[in-house]
Amino acid sequence: MKFCPEKFLVLAVLLGAFVSVAPVRAQSAAQPADPAREHVFLIMTDGLRWQEVFRGADPSLLTKANHDNQPVDDLARKYVRSTPQQARAALMPFLWSHIVPEGEIYGNRDKGSDAHVTNGFNFSYPGYSETLTGHADPRINSNDPVPNPNVTVFEWLNKQPGLAGQTAAFGAWSVIGDAFNRQRCGFTDNAGFDPLTSIPMTPQLDLLNHIKAELPRVWSDETFDAPTFYTALEYLQAKRPRLFYLSLGETDDWAHAGDYGKYLEAANLVDTYLQRLWQFVQANPEYRDHTTLILLTDHGRGGAPVEWKSHGQKIPDSKYIFIAAMGPGIPRNGEVSGGAPVTQSQIAATVAKLVGKDWNQQTPAAGKPLPGIQVAH
């Protein structure tokens, strides 16, 4: 598991000027995905609890003691509401105003919806590997930076006809590079503090590379989410890949540090980044109406008042996660209640199905695609 120091410096990185945005437009009426044209954006945010996603901020945790002994009044005004529905919309407004109404979300245990990991470890690298390969691997039993011995669905798809060279992956945590096995995968796999050098250099990209190199290293193996996101956006603007992966990490790091205020702010920023990605999609004809966005986490966390800070085998409830998606081929079920459980292991086959490929035939151990995915034939 990743851990954070108790004291740290916060550096605000103002990079919004790099983003050219268009008004958010909802997808057209639900339609099957066209596998010849579909793009898939898979976004993960490390260790974000289902409780905040579905209930919003927990007032019992939003205290000075859980915020580096700093005042929390402003955060309470920003996020605390009288109902879970209002609180979650305040925390993640784009998720609840666009992704859920246009698609679906699993994992609200208050409504009997079960989404969970299957690897049994309930921490980061096993969760990323399970997501990317579709199955648990007992060899992936630590967060050590060891190249993944398994082929991920992205590596396989990147070698398929019509998809070759159409994949890219970005992560704030350096081990994301190992989860994809950057030595073997054959596509841009940019993680941690590494500069991005696989596209033509621009003033914006040069600045981002310098920022990543020169930021205070609060965590030795992970940069802040902002330079990771804007580096990924530079790549999107330059290369227009069909398959795009982004992993953000501050939700996990601030929780391990016991700073619930910064944890909430990180979750809210993830939502902002989702909105900006969707604005990019809507502003580009090749993406508009032909892009599916999937959001999930690598693991859950424990409950209040203490175990929310951590996760792992000794905290069984940290296996519970959330999974959200919208786009062509995604059922418009909204907030799912009850039903059969869904698992992290189903994501890889879902990604492949949306672009017309069968990951289960390639990797029989992988979970089946999420239910109800529609693809044109």
- Give residue limits of the domains in the chain: 33-345+353-362
Cβ–Cβ < 8 Å for 246, 287: no
User: For residue 31, what pLDDT is reported?
Assistant: 84
Backbone dihedral angles phi then psi of residue 243, each to the nearest 5 degrees: -120, 120
Return the CATH superfamily for domain 33-345+353-362.
Alkaline Phosphatase, subunit A (3.40.720.10)
DSSP state of 118: S
Query: For the chain, first and last CA: distance in Å?
Result: 43
User: Taking the mean position of all CA atoms in its chain, how far away is CA 20?
Assistant: 22
User: For residue 30, what pLDDT is reported?
Assistant: 60
26: how many CB neighbours lie within 10 A of its CB? 12
Cβ–Cβ < 8 Å for 154, 160: no
Instruction: Name every residue whose Cβ is closer than 8 Å to that of residue 160 and which is 6 or more positions away in sequence.
Output: 357
Residue 177's Cβ-count burial label (10 Å; 0-12, 13-18, 19+) is buried
Cβ–Cβ < 8 Å for 244, 355: no
Pairing between β-strand 323-326 and β-strand 291-296 as defined by DSSP bridges: antiparallel
Q: Which residues of the chain have pLDDT under 50?
A: 1, 3-29
User: For residue 26, what pLDDT is reported?
Assistant: 38
pTM more than 0.85: yes
3-state SS, residue 297: coil
Cβ–Cβ < 8 Å for 44, 131: yes
User: For residue 138, what pLDDT is reported?
Assistant: 97
User: For residue 307, what pLDDT is reported?
Assistant: 98
Residue 357 to residue 203: CA distance in whole angstroms: 38
User: For residue 283, what pLDDT is reported?
Assistant: 97
DSSP 3-state percent helix, strand, coil across the chain (nearest 5): 40, 15, 50
DSSP letters along 182-233, please? HHHH-SEEEETTPPP-SS---HHHHHHHHHHHHS--SBTTB--HHHHHHHHH
| Closest by CA position to 215, among listed 30, 18, 15, 55 | 15
